[in-house]
Structure 1
Amino acid sequence: MSGGVPAPGPGALRGTGVPGAAPADEDRPAVPESPQPRQGTGSRFAAWAELLRLPALFTVPGDLLAGSATAPGRPGTRVLWAIGSSLCLYEAGMALNDWADRAEDAVERPHRPLPSGRIRPAAALTAACALTATGLALAARSGRPALAVAAPLAATVWAYDLGLKRTPAGPAAMATARALDLLLGAAATSGRVRPALPSAALLGTHTLALTAVSRHETEGGAPLAPLTALATTGVLTRLLSRRLARDQLPLSRGKLCSFRSASLATLPAACALAYAATAARPYLHATLNPSPPLTQRAVGGGIRATIPLQAALCARSSAPVSAVITAALAPLAARFAKKVSVT
C-alpha cells in the first residue's frame, strides 16, 4: 500500500504505507512553517491531490481483490468495506509521509505541498490521523478478522513513515504493509488468511524490490537496486505465468467450457507478461544509467506494474472477473499519473 498501504507508495515509495517515502540519510533540523498562500478551491484540491498522490490509489483495490480471490465464494459487501479501509490507510500513509519528511523536502523538494506552504503541516497530520481512524472503522464493518489484519497494517504504516523508512528495515516494512493489505481482502471474504499467504509473499517481494529502488530516486547512482528489481521481476513473471495444474481447471463440457478452461489457463500468463512489460524496461534503463530521472521513472514503472501483478494473482486463483476488473485500473492510473505524480 504504499503509504497507506504500505502504496504504492515514494522516496522508498514516497508516501505509502501501501509502496514509501524517500529516506533521509540523516535527520535535518525542523523548518518553520511557511505562510499559507491564498489559493482558490481548484488550487487547494490540486495541492491535496499532489500530497495524497491520488493516481496511486488505483494500485490499492487489486490488493484486496487478489486476497479475496484466494477464498471460496465471490467478493461481497465486506470486501467493499475492506477496500474502503485500505484506501483510507493508504492515503493516511501518504499524508503522514510528507508530514514526517517536511524538513527534508524543504531542501530537496521545495515544490511539494508542505514546504511550499500550500498545505500546512498540521493539516497533513490531522488528515493522517482522521484517515487512519476511518480506515480502522471501515475494517471493523468488514468483521473482526478484517480488523485483526487492518490494525497491524495501520501500525506498520505509521512505524514506516515515522522512522523505519530511514533504516535498513524500511523496504521490509513496506513489503509487509502490502502483504497485509492483500491478506485484508482474504480476511474480509472468509475470515481466513492462510490460503492467501503465497499471493501475499509474491506481492511483498515485488514491493520489497521496488522500495529498495525508490530509496535512491533523489540522488541516483545505485545500479544494484534496479538490477535486483529487474531480476526479481523476471523470477516473479516466471512464477506467475505457470499454467494452472490440471486439477485446478474447471471440468470442460463442450467447446464453450473448453474455451473457458483454456482462457483460465492462459490469463495468468497474459497478466504476468503485462507485469513484466511494465516494470522491466524502466528497471533496465535505471540499471544502465542510475541517474535520478531514470531512477524515478523506474519507481513509477514499478508502481504501475503493481496493477498487472495483482491481476495475475487474481487469475492464478481462478478469479478471471477480479483479474479483468483489476487490469482495467491500469489505463486509468496511467492517465491520471500524467496530471499528478505518483512518486
Structure 2
Amino acid sequence: MTRRRTGRTQAWAELLRVSALFSVPGDALAGAAAAGVRPGRGTLCAIGASLCLYEAGMALNDWADRAEDAAERPHRPLPSGRIAPSAALAASAALTAAGLALASRAGRPPLVVATALAATVWAYDLGLKHTPAGPGTMATARALDLLLGATASTSRNVGPHRRAVHALPSAVLLGAHTYAVTAVSRHETQGGSTRTPLAALAVTLAVAGAASGEALGTRPDTTTVASPSGPPAPAPHPTLPSSRPLPSAWPLPSRRPLPPRRLRPSRLPASSGRPNPSRGLGPLLALAYARTPATLLLHAALNPSAALTERAVGGGIRATIPLQAALAARAGAPGTALALLGLVPAARALARKVSPT
C-alpha cells in the first residue's frame, strides 16, 4: 500500500514537473521590484495564483499530448497508465479555478491579468503549441505572470496600471528568454536542430546584457527633492503678445511656493548620487544567468541530439531564476534578488529526481 502511494505521488510529481516550480515565484517578486514596491499580501496572492496556473498548464499539456507521448515518451504518467487522462484534465481545471480565486483576493486588476494568463496557457496547450505562434504564446504567458506580480503588489502612491507600465521592460526580457527556451524545446524529443540552439544562445546573451544594466528612469514612487539652496522660485507668469499693460481690474494671482518635501532614503531617485547597493550585484547575477544555459545550448548546437537538446531546455528553465534575480537587482531590490538566488540549489537538487521538461 505504501509503495503504491509512493508511486502515485511520484507520478503526479512527474506530471506537474514540480522541480520547475522554483522558477515561478520569482515572476511575481521581480514584477513587484520592477514596479518599485515592496512585496506584500498582494504579492503572496500573485505567487499562489502563478503556482496554480503553472501547474494547471503542466497537467493540461500532458493531457493534450497524451497520444504523441504514447509514441515518443511512453514513460510519461498518462501513456504509462499511472494517471488517468480524466484526472489530469480535472486537476488542470481545478488548479485554474484556484489560481483565479487567489488572484481575485489581490483585487480586480490582478484578476484581469490572471484571466488573460489562464486563457493564454489553455490556448497554448490546446492548439497553439504546435504552430509558429507557440513560442510567442509561451513568452506572453511568462510576461503576464510578471505583470501579475506588479499589479497585485499594493502601493499608496502608484496605481496598478502605472505599476504594470513600469514593470513592462522586465516582462519583455523575461518573455524573450522564455521564447528562446520554448523554441529549443520543440526539438527536445527528436533533436536535429543546430540553428535554434545558436539563436537561443544569442538571445540569452542579449537578455543578460540588458538585465545587467540599471533600469532607466527613477522609481515610480519617487518625488522630487528640493534644491539645497531653498525652494524653487515660482514660475514666471506668461506675457501677452500685446505690449499693453493689463488693466488693474485683472490682477495677476500670487503663487506661494510649496515647502520642500523630505524623502526617506529608500525613495531617493537613482540619479540622486546616492550609491546603489545593487549596482554591482546586477551584472554578477546577469552573468550567472547567462552561464547556466550557455554551455548546454552550445553543446546542443554542436551535437543536436535529443538528449543534449533536452538538457539545454532544462538548463534554460533553471536559468529563469537567476534572470529573475538579475531583474530584481536591476530594479534596485537586492534583498529580493538574493532571496531568489537561494532557490537555485533547491531547484537543481530536485531536478535530479524529477525532470523539469
TM-score (structure 2 length as normaliser) = 0.81
One-letter code aligned to 1:103: A
1:240 to 188, 211, 214: 211
1:146 shift after superposition: 0.4
* Structure 1 residues 72-221: aligned runs within 5 Å: 72-190=36-154, 191-192=160-161, 193-221=164-192
1:271 to 262, 271, 285: 285
**Identity rate, percent:** 64
2:311 to 260, 285, 297: 297
1:242 shift after superposition: 2.2
Give the 3-state SS of the residue equivalent to 1:206 in structure 2. helix
5+ residue gaps, structure 2, are 155-159, 220-263, 267-273
Provide the residue aligned with 1:316 in structure 2.
330
Provide the residue aligned with 2:200 in structure 1.
229
Query: Using the alignment, how far apart are the partners of 1:70 and 1:304 within structure 2?
Result: 21
Matched residues, number = 300
Query: Using the alignment, how far apart are the partners of 2:216 and 2:265 within structure 1?
Result: 13
One-letter code aligned to 2:98: T
| Greater helix fraction, Structure 1 or Structure 2 | 1
5+ residue gaps, structure 1, are 1-37, 253-259
Does the CA contact (< 8 Å) of 2:214 and 2:331 recur in 1?
Answer: no
Does the CA contact (< 8 Å) of 2:23 and 2:318 recur in 1?
Answer: yes
Question: Alpha carbons of 1:251 and 1:84: their partners in 2 closer, same or farther (altered >3 Å)?
Answer: closer
Question: Alpha carbons of 1:113 and 1:318: their partners in 2 closer, same or farther (altered >3 Å)?
Answer: same
Query: Using the alignment, how far apart are the partners of 1:106 and 1:160 within structure 2?
Result: 20
Does the CA contact (< 8 Å) of 2:276 and 2:332 recur in 1?
Answer: no
Provide the residue aligned with 2:28 in structure 1.
64
Give the 3-state SS of the residue equivalent to 1:117 in structure 2. coil
Give the 3-state SS of the residue equivalent to 2:78 in structure 1. coil
Q: Cα RMSD over matched residues? A: 2.0
One-letter code aligned to 1:340: V
Query: Using the alignment, how far apart are the partners of 1:205 and 1:90 within structure 2?
Result: 18
Question: Alpha carbons of 1:214 and 1:133: their partners in 2 closer, same or farther (altered >3 Å)?
Answer: same
Please say if 1:330 is aligned against 2:330.
no
TM-score (structure 1 length as normaliser) = 0.84
Give the 3-state SS of the residue equivalent to 2:278 in structure 1. helix
Give the 3-state SS of the residue equivalent to 1:265 in structure 2. coil
Question: Alpha carbons of 1:247 and 1:61: their partners in 2 closer, same or farther (altered >3 Å)?
Answer: closer
Does the CA contact (< 8 Å) of 2:36 and 2:331 recur in 1?
Answer: no
Question: Alpha carbons of 1:114 and 1:246: their partners in 2 closer, same or farther (altered >3 Å)?
Answer: closer
1:251 shift after superposition: 6.9
User: Larger deviation: 79-88 or 64-73?
Assistant: 64-73
Query: Using the alignment, how far apart are the partners of 2:35 and 2:213 within structure 1?
Result: 20
**Rg larger for:** 2
Query: Using the alignment, how far apart are the partners of 1:324 and 1:41 within structure 2?
Result: 37
